[in-house]
Amino acid sequence: MPSISMNNFRDVDVLVAGGGPSGVAAAIAAARRGANTLIVERYGRLGGAGVTSMVNPLMGRSCSPLVGEVLERFEKVQGDWEVLDLVYADMIQESGAGIMLHSWVVDPLMDGRRVTGIRVLNKQGLLSLGAKVVIDATADGDVAFKAGAEYEKGREGDGLLQPMTIMYRLGGVDKSRALLCGNEEEAFEIQVPEGSWHEVVQRGGEAGELPRNIGIIRTYESPHPGERIVNATQVNYVDGTNIEDLTRAELEGRRQALAVTKFLQQHAPGYEDCYIAQMPQSIGVRETRRFLGEEYLTKDDLVSGRKWKSAVVRDADFVIDIHNPEATSQAQAEGFAARVQPYDIPYGCLVPREIDGLLLSGRCISGSHEAHASYRVQQIVMAIGAAAGTAAAIAAQNNSQPREIDVSTVQEKLGLMATIRQ
Ligand SMILES: Cc1cc2nc3c(=O)[nH]c(=O)nc-3n(C[C@H](O)[C@H](O)[C@H](O)COP(=O)(O)OP(=O)(O)OC[C@H]3O[C@@H](n4cnc5c(N)ncnc54)[C@H](O)[C@@H]3O)c2cc1C
């Protein structure tokens, strides 16, 4: 296992910026293909939004074997989110990759239009790390942005982004009586003494007990006795790459959580004695920059289940889940998320136009506002990470640029050849 000595890390084959689900998968995949790999994360824990913003469960599907391995390892710790970061750390270290925590990626090192490494800021000061290929798994695409890659933000027309949410954990719940509500459909079906859960929450908004943009209170299962996870708060008209917005959203989201908890105590059987057991380290940001790649995924591609010759993720599957940028809940006309057919993600969505030495991974890849609302979930971004890590290792080993490599080699290493229609 590599030591955490800075000197060992000055030059690597593959450098992964960001330790969320896509970055973790990218690091494991690259190291397993023999690349000298380092993953750099700004916080003290791996796992990204799933860990630091408490957004769970691990949703979505794909046919990536690496995702299957993560799920198996996670089951062995009883699906306990408090130790998911260590599950990831174990898998990364077993693969031979190095981990650097508490280190912010500040900007890329550039040679013309080619990324040649990154600069990180940590307790030791500013450090330059060289790499043959950098994978941007920062979710906001911080490396790609500073490298000058082209990007889009928000929905077509007005550029508005999906809202941000503080997800948090309640203790003191009487689980034998406490409602579980996963989505809007269930909110209509669940009955409490005052009516359907949906009606009760709507009335709470009208009466001023809840902020007006809270239209649904989702409560998810926790593996611990007396605990539930709450997904209800919603801060609209904010951009996670604007620091004033981010500050406002953190404070507003946490204040909303207080109102939601009080509402549950007063209106939801089983929650009378609940209390806030844990707030997240950071507010959850659903959507920011989407970089333009050699290929681009659209809503039509997902709804029709389009197959691509250059697929590096097969059978990705999750609804187009757009939380309303302007008001409460999901944005689709009928009130619920739009269905998709299992779809491919082509390699070109990971290759930024015109910038070399760089691959995109996770929720910042090339696709529309609607397509992003499906592939952003954790199991799918992990599959994207597995593809990015594999491609980066191949490029580094061949001393070539990510855009130059033969995609069929990536598909073969990912075990996808049998499923690709030529
Ligand atoms: C409120 C909310 C609820 C959600 N619910 C679910 C759910 O139930 N199930 C599900 O599967 N998905 C859910 N998602 C979506 C999912 O969590 C994210 O889309 C997914 O985590 C994206 O993965 P990623 O690896 O691209 O980015 P992230 O998970 O955001 O990881 C990025 C990592 O990079 C690090 N980083 C960022 N910038 C820098 C920098 N400059 N230097 C160093 N490190 C940096 C971050 O700290 C982080 O660890 C939800 C999202 C939100 C916001």
Model pLDDT for residues 260-279, shown as the tens digit of each residue: 999 999 999 999 999 999 99
CB 362 near ligand 1, within 6 Å: yes
**Which H/E stretch holds residue 230?**
strand 228-231
Query: Between vectors from CA 289 to CA 287 and to CA 291, what angle results, nearest 5°?
Result: 130
Q: How far is the CA of 77 from the centre of ligand 1 (A)?
A: 21
Q: How far is the CA of 403 from the centre of ligand 1 (A)?
A: 26
Taking alpha carbons only, the member of 54, 20, 28, 43 closest to residue 389 is 28
For residue 52, the one-letter residue type is: T
Residue 263: the pLDDT is: 98
Whole-model pTM over 0.85: yes
Q: How far is the CA of 50 from the centre of ligand 1 (A)?
A: 6
Cα 26 to its chain centre, rounded Å, is 13
CB 18 near ligand 1, within 6 Å: yes
DSSP state of 269: T
Low-confidence stretches of the chain (pLDDT beneath 50): 1-4, 7-8, 333-335, 422
Taking alpha carbons only, the member of 388, 352, 401, 359 closest to residue 151 is 352
Burial of 223 (0-12, 13-18, 19+ CB in 10 A): exposed
CB 246 near ligand 1, within 6 Å: no
Residue 118: the pLDDT is: 97
**Residue 396 Cα distances to 38, 103, 143, 275, 403, angstroms:** 13, 24, 18, 51, 12
- Which of 288, 364, 377, 380 for mutating ligand 1's site (highest number of atoms within 8 Å of CB)? 377
**Which H/E stretch holds residue 128?**
strand 125-136
Q: How far is the CA of 421 from the centre of ligand 1 (A)?
A: 32
Coil, strand, or helix at residue 116?
strand
| Largest Cα span, the chain | 66
Residue 335: the pLDDT is: 43
Q: Extract the tokens encoding 72.
A: 């198996």
Q: How far is the CA of 20 from the centre of ligand 1 (A)?
A: 6
CA distance 84 to 237: 31
Before 223, cis peptide (omega within 30)? no
In sequence order, the 6+-apart residues with CB closer than 8 A to the CB of 413 are: 33, 390, 394
CB 19 near ligand 1, within 6 Å: yes
CB 285 near ligand 1, within 6 Å: yes
CB 355 near ligand 1, within 6 Å: no
CA distance 338 to 116: 40
- Which of 40, 322, 378, 382 for mutating ligand 1's site (highest number of atoms within 8 Å of CB)? 378
Query: Between vectors from CA 91 to CA 90 and to CA 97, what angle results, nearest 5°?
Result: 95
> What CATH number labels 6-155+287-419?
3.50.50.60
Burial of 86 (0-12, 13-18, 19+ CB in 10 A): middle
- For the chain, give every domain's residue range: 6-155+287-419, 168-278
CA distance 144 to 152: 12
Coil, strand, or helix at residue 184?
helix
